[in-house]
Amino acid sequence: MKKIVLNALVALFSPFYFYACPADTSIKGIEVSFTYTKEIFPESWQPAPVNALGETIAASEILRSAAAAVKALNKYPENVLTHNLKAVYFLKSLSFFGVGYGATNSNDVVYIASNGVAKGYTDFYLEKSFHHEFSSILFRNYPSVLDTVEWKKANGNDFDYNDPENGVGAIRNKKSSEELDTALARIGMLTQYAMSSLENDINTIAQNLFLPDNNFWDITDHYPLIKKKIKLLIAFYNKINPIFTEQYFRKINTQ
């Protein structure tokens, strides 16, 4: 496959190229790819029990996926990206442990399924998935920056994250809704999926900081436990780069 370097304008305004010839690209120093080979996954993921599988994206989905990558990556300073991320892969499908995934991440790569708006892979979903997965990479890379002790205090009394498989079980058992839930917000949880693990709880709030669902900021302002977690996560991002402030996040999608 021919590899080219495109800037954001080309990615957004050159539909003919993307539909005619699927191609890898580089955005803010990060490789963005649209082709599946088994080598894109860590070697340890390939045998059982992980059994990592993917499928090359349809050519008709490349332009939309590239545009989502541009929007997502442009919300981070370039040094935050290049210090923590190597590549983003958009694929038609992803499967691990025999379970279909919408997205996942490795040490320095984000993988996102993109299989058509009709199947739920909207532009919003694609960008949201990037922020969700990249927050996992940052959480691993800066393990002492987030105050997880205070974070867990913002959970309801006697709450324990309920998935020993760190989200795989929640997906398998169809308990992975990411709809904002005000009933759960009372106990410090934004969504059903957030209840599965600390990492997924962090991911859920991170994706809403960068690309909020409807009512996210209203929920933040009305539910003290959620507000506490928001402040803790903004402090985490702010220590990574001072551009990340509450004002930045509240205005990021209005500019």
Between these two residues, 8 and 33, which has the higher pLDDT value? 33
Confidence (pLDDT) at 126: 98
Which residue carries 């990021």 as its tokens?
252
Tokens representing 132 are 């969700």
* C-alpha to C-alpha distance for 138 and 249, rounded to whole angstroms: 17
Which of these, 111, 20, 27, 16, lies nearest to 59 by C-alpha position?
20
For the chain, the structural domain boundaries read: 8-141, 148-251
Percent of the chain predicted with pLDDT > 70: 85
In tens, the pLDDT along 186-242 reads 999 999 989 889 999 999 999 999 999 989 999 999 999 999 999 999 999 999 999
Mean pLDDT on 153-173: 65
Contact 36, 55 (CB under 8 A): yes
Mean pLDDT of the chain: 87
Is pLDDT at 157 greater than 80 in this prediction? no
Q: 46-50, 131-135, 193-197: which has the minimum mean pLDDT? A: 193-197
Q: Distances from the Cα of 106 to the Cαs of 51, 58, 80, 116, 214, in angstroms?
A: 14, 23, 17, 24, 29
Confidence (pLDDT) at 160: 83
Q: What is the band of 175 on the pLDDT scale with cuts at 50, 70, 90? A: low
* C-alpha to C-alpha distance for 218 and 235, rounded to whole angstroms: 20
